Amino acid sequence: MSSSEDDDRVKYVRYEKDKGYLELNKTFPEEKYLWNEDFAPTPVKMRKWGSWTFFGIWFGMAIEVESWALVSVGYSFGLNWFYSLMAVVLGNVIVLVPMIIQSHGGARYGVPETPLTRSRWGIYGNWIPSLIRGIIGAGWWGIDTWIIAECVGAIYLISSNQLTTLYTAASTAASPWTIASVVPTLFWATFLFTIAIRLIILYYSPPKTGQRTLQIISWTVPFIGFVGFGILFFSMMSITNWQWTAIVNIPTTVTGSAFWYAFIGLINANVAFWATMAISMPDFTRYAKSQFSQTIGQLPLPLLMGGIGALALVTTGASLVHFGVPIWDPVLLSALVISSQPLAYLTIILLLLGVIVVNIFADTIGPGYDFSNIYPKKISWFMGVVIVVIIAAILQAWSYYASAQTYVENWLLTYGAILGGVEGIITFDYAIIRRFKFEIYDLFYHKGRFRYFHGINPAAVIAFAISMILVFPPSTYLPANWLPSSLPTGNGYSLLFPYQDWVFQNAWISAILIAGFIYLLLMASWVIPKYQPDLKGNLLKGYIADDTETIFGTIRSGSSQDATTPSTNSTPGVNASSVPDKKETQQPRST
């Protein structure tokens, strides 16, 4: 690496020690595959989101239809209310750890997830996690749209006095597909119309504006939407005469290894539920006022999910007592049990608003960045959003939402394992290898430290591939006639090794640990010495380059830089950009 590049890294970066973040005062218009306005680090003046905004975002995403449904399916897997609720709380405590680590990077460097991930996967290698996250987000986008259309269909059935028809359909199969089967024409017309409306909203709230529209939504809609679940709870409990004892006494119907298999699966389903956000949070924390604000705003997540979980379990338990089967879809249940038409309308509209919030924040913003990352010069963030919609239509992931079994096993656990492999690399690199410090300049420079091997970090690709082979049983990706009869079997899978079915049921947790540890070994023994020789250190203390230490004002003992010389960045808000560089002719961007 040339000395002029080392100088540029320091010259164009400003470290705000009191707030814990950096600002890059340079543009890279010549880097057509790495740069556009949407990926540009957020200027200090636009980092205004406080703890209340982040709490509002999580309140809105937690208090919504899919969260309610996920918690309620515990009954369908033979677990009682206690174990179902424990799975929710444990899953959300676990996923909060990588989420806060990843969020730290967004707040510190002011960049969304896609350029942030270049430091781990390489400047072009990050297309792999971007496409994975984008496709999964598109799948959720389709499920969200299905629920929105379901809400409109429910309102129509109530207003047209067709609840008897709905009761008949629900008695045969009570699921999120019930309403669509009764009013298919209206359902699909609504499906298409709501796509157009959301695209208009997103078009007028691009990242370069600080996404003020979305910030306002996060302050208002989530707290209003919570009222809808309260009405549903009160209505269902009133029908059952508030029979708490009958609900609490619903037994666990699985025992022994079957119990642990179901419980572990439900924990991982809850982890997977927010695994996309564990990657995507830098898309929001890039606007954070400080590390403190984004961290405090996110810490209540397990409590929020536990609260909606308790409400959902009691209400769904009451539906099991009353109807004989657990109706875990709150939209269908609202249409069936709320006798007052005005209250039914209000409840379903509030549920609809909650789905729109999670659709925008969880399943649109991040995936939009992912597809824009493929060719930033030509694909804007909004064009990335349009690609999300197209892929959502192709995937038709709403088919997995039809039953509790397919929702958990075929959707959540499957993509949870894939994202676990991605997050193992992202989390272990940032927290253990980098110790939260790296070169923001190189995220946008094709000849920088994150070029690795032709732009791809081989350690990331190899660790991810090995983790997927070890986690996924061969029968999940190979035709049955390709599988040798000698392979061990378990829980309906042909296995690569004994008990691999349990490794897969522990999907996200298995993948993040396997990928993370393999990645650490490959980075320390091979990739850093070969492709990043400027980095010094070890796995116990982390790795850092001298110019990065200069930026952060922490000169390491034994560094090649004279540790007795005061760093130009040792004072908050001051850095080497105040030192003239006669060789540099390009002026930094004004902020």
pLDDT in tens, 455-474: 999 999 999 999 999 999 99
CA 449/CA 439 separation, integer angstroms: 8
Residue 528 lies in a domain: yes
Residue 23 lies in a domain: no
Say yes or no to pLDDT of 422 above 90. Answer: yes
| Between 107 and 373, residue with greater pLDDT | 107
Per-residue model confidence (pLDDT) at position 315 = 93
Say yes or no to pLDDT of 93 above 50. Answer: yes
Per residue in 39-66, pLDDT (tens digit) is: 889 988 889 899 988 998 888 788 888 8
Say yes or no to pLDDT of 433 above 90. Answer: yes
Residue 578 lies in a domain: no
Residue 238 lies in a domain: yes
Summarize the chain as % helix, strand, coil (round to 5).
Answer: 65, 5, 30
- Token readout for 3 is 């000395």
pTM: 0.86
State the burial class of residue 590 (Cβ atoms within 10 Å of its Cβ: 0-12, 13-18, 19+).
Answer: exposed
Say yes or no to pLDDT of 555 above 50. Answer: no
Residue 569 lies in a domain: no
DSSP-assigned states of every residue in 354-406: HHHHHHHHHHTHHHHHHHHTTSTTT--HHHHHHHHHHHHHHH-GGGGGGSHHI
- The range of the structural domain enclosing residue 257 comes to 31-544
Per-residue model confidence (pLDDT) at position 490 = 94
The one-letter amino acid at 323: F
Alpha carbon of 134 to those of 40, 101, 138: distances in Å? 20, 20, 6
Q: How many domains does the chain have?
A: 1
List the beta bridge partners of residue 171: none
Residue 502 lies in a domain: yes
Say yes or no to pLDDT of 9 above 60. Answer: yes
Q: Are 141 and 360 contacting, i.e. CB atoms less than 8 angstroms apart?
A: no
Residue 329 lies in a domain: yes
Per-residue model confidence (pLDDT) at position 525 = 97
Which of 99, 470, 139 lies closest to 275, judged by CA? 99
| Cβ-based neighbours of 271, under 8 Å, separated by 6 or more | 91, 92, 94, 95, 416, 508, 509
**Which CATH number fits the domain that encloses residue 355?**
1.10.4160.10
In sign, the C-alpha dihedral spanning 118, 122, 124, 130 is negative
What is the rounded average pLDDT of the residues 565-573? 40
Of 39-48, 418-427, 540-549, the range with the lowest mean pLDDT is 39-48
Q: What percent of the chain has pLDDT over 90?
A: 57
Residue 436 lies in a domain: yes
List the beta bridge partners of residue 489: 494
Q: pLDDT confidence of 206, banded at 50, 70, 90?
A: low
Q: What is the CB-side half-sphere exposure of residue 384 using CA atoms within 13 A?
A: 31
Q: What's the longest Cα–Cα distance across the chain?
A: 82
